[in-house]
Amino acid sequence: MLNRRLLRSKVVQALYAISIAEESNRLLAYDEIAEAYKPDLNSMEPQNLQQLEGYRQLATLSFDELVEHGILPAGEDVPFEVEITAKKAFVAYQNANKQDRRNAVRRVLSETENIYTSVLYSLQFLTDLSHLAKLERNRTHQNVDDPIPLRSGLDTNAVVTALQSHKPFADEVIRRGVSWSNDMEIIHRTYREMLRKDESYRQYCEDSTHTLAKDQELVQFVFRTLIFKNQLFVDFMEARDLYWEDHSELVRSIAIKTLKSVTEEGTLVLAELTDDWDEDKFFIEEMVAKTLEGEKDFEAHIREFLENWDNERLAKVDMIIIKAALAEMIHFPGIPVKVTINEFIETAKRYSTLQSGKFVNGLLDKLSEKLLREKVIRKSGKGLIDNR
């Protein structure tokens, strides 16, 4: 099931993408300003190159003022034409940022939902292996050079047959377009080179009947070892999921929970990605929104503890993580401060530098103590002291 740690990592990924996009949009704005003050090579009139360059620099400085403060300083002697150029570039910059923010959030939400598609791919892999087992058992002429017991096989396994006959699974596979048909060589090689040659599978095939416990034992072995530790499978999943390394454990646990749900009567429960997708989606969207909304305030709080710190040494991801942690501490009163700090330390260890965990820990400890004293952070809820 989805957990808050994974959701926090999605928040950080979205914020990082937004940060990179904003940097690119700023460079595009500079280019737009520069374009406005290029000399007209087709003009027959003399060009005042020095004045054009001066206007370009002044428009760029005015644009930077708009980005940082939202207004131009009063009393500045800026030519009207230059002011219009700067404001036009600023409006385009703002619009591009709004669109990029929406796109970044949509993308991480889509990536999160896509985890369940990976679950279906892994389960479909199992049923496709069973289909190859069935084809071999139904052949008239067997492989005399490499015979295999055919009294039973993966296709007769009660867990696999329950999965194959489960209509919600079949419907979801069709709805999400899950199919190995374009990559059947992966299935064939796994069957030939791994499953068929595995001694425990051959022993299983010696008996015509099995208990549900034996069927579960085989399926769990196949799933955990011959699928999830199969480099062919891993390579395929990494190609379709940029964050497979982060998602793989969750995919495996959801799929195994589904397989373990099979009963003696052959019923099965298809495990869900989450108990409440709307709540998880809200958490991601709200965390991103509150982090961006309070960014200036968070930077002011952070600067108090980094007076002698060279900003060039501060990893971008670390700053994003600290800001997101502050947003959670301030705007999610039901989450204990210590939980927030511990979770974002793990996020820093995962996504930033080797020293980031200690750095984030130390800074968040200091920031939380200060903001709790100032009552900027107010925690309330079950198990928490209501300090409103």
The predicted pLDDT at position 383 comes to 47
> Which residue's entry shows tokens 């979770």?
343
Residue 266 lies in a domain: no
- Residue 161 CA, chain-centre distance (Å), reads 33
Do 142 and 83 share a domain, yes or no? no
CA distances from 203 to 86, 127, 147, 237, 339 (A): 76, 20, 13, 30, 49
Mean pLDDT, residues 349-365? 91
Which pair of structure tokens corresponds to residue 35? 């374009």
Q: Residue 97: which domain range?
A: 4-107
Provide the percentage of residues in the chain whose pLDDT is more than 70. 94
Confidence (pLDDT) at 308: 64
For the stretch 267-288, pLDDT in tens is: 999 999 999 999 999 999 999 9
pLDDT single digits (tens) 58-93: 999 999 999 999 998 876 788 999 999 999 999 999
Contacts of 76 (CB under 8 A, 6+ apart): 62
Residues 241 and 126 in one domain: yes
The verdict on 231 and 204 lying in the same domain is: yes
- Of 115, 109, 107, the closest CA to residue 279 belongs to 109
Question: pLDDT class for 386, splitting at 50, 70, 90?
Answer: very low
Res. 336: pLDDT tops 60 = yes
Cα–Cα distance measured from residue 149 to residue 197, given in angstroms and rounded to the nearest whole number: 11
41 and 81 co-located in one domain: yes
Joined tokens for residue 174: 């069709």
Q: Are residues 102 and 118 in the same domain?
A: no
The last residue of a domain, from among 88, 107, 126: 107
3 state SS for 127-149: HHHHHHHHHHHCCCCCCCCCCCC
**Are 122 and 248 contained in the same domain?**
yes
Of 3, 6, 12, nearest to 318 by C-alpha is: 12
Collapsing DSSP to helix, strand or coil, 154 comes out as helix
Residues 126 and 255 in one domain: yes
Is 101 within the bounds of a domain? yes
Which amino acid does the sequence have at 228? F
Q: Is residue 240 predicted with pLDDT exceeding 80?
A: yes
- Nearest residue to 128 (alpha-carbon basis) of 201, 187, 197, 174: 187
91/176 same-domain check: no
What pTM does this model have?
0.89
Taking residues 298-311, what's their average pLDDT? 79
Whole-angstrom Cα distance, residue 59 to residue 47? Answer: 18
Note whether 255 and 121 are same-domain residues. Answer: yes
CATH code of residue 357: 1.10.940.10
- If asked whether residues 88 and 41 sit together in one domain, one would say yes
